């Protein structure tokens, strides 16, 4: 609705009751992002291994892998730090 001001998203307050005492919601989000990063890193290593093993003759492999790593690193760094790093 255009007549009401925008408000930042906040999770429902009843979800905070499930957090252990002394743990903030920001810390939980950060740990979830670290888990996503670990899954991404493992998945990327397996994908790169298979790509190089089974299509090593492709001239697209190395630039595509480099581009994937650069873009993924930029997105993950932005999600963890909140700062966009453009080289």
- Kindly tell me if the per-residue pLDDT of 1 is higher than 60: no
DSSP 16-80: GGGSPTT--HHHHHHHHHHHHHHHHHHHHHHHHHHHHHHSTT-TTHHHHHHHHHHHHHHHHHHHH
User: Residue 31 has which token pair?
Assistant: 């740990």
Split at pLDDT 50, 70, 90, the class of 2 is low
| Span 28-68, pLDDT tens digits | 777 887 898 899 889 888 888 888 887 766 777 788 888 88
Q: How far is CA 50 from CA 16, 35, 42, 53, 65, in A?
A: 42, 23, 13, 5, 12
Domain boundaries, the chain: 24-81
pLDDT of residue 39: 92
pLDDT of residue 65: 85
């Amino acid at each position: 609705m255009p007549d009401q001001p925008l408000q930042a998203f906040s999770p429902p307050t009843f979800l905070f009751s499930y957090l252990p005492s002394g743990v903030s919601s920001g810390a939980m989000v950060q740990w979830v992002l670290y888990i996503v990063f670990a899954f991404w890193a493992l998945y990327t290593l397996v994908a790169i291994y298979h790509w190089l093993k089974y299509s090593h003759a492709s001239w697209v492999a190395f630039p595509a892998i480099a581009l994937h790593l650069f873009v993924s690193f930029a997105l993950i760094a932005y999600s963890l730090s909140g700062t966009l790093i453009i080289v």
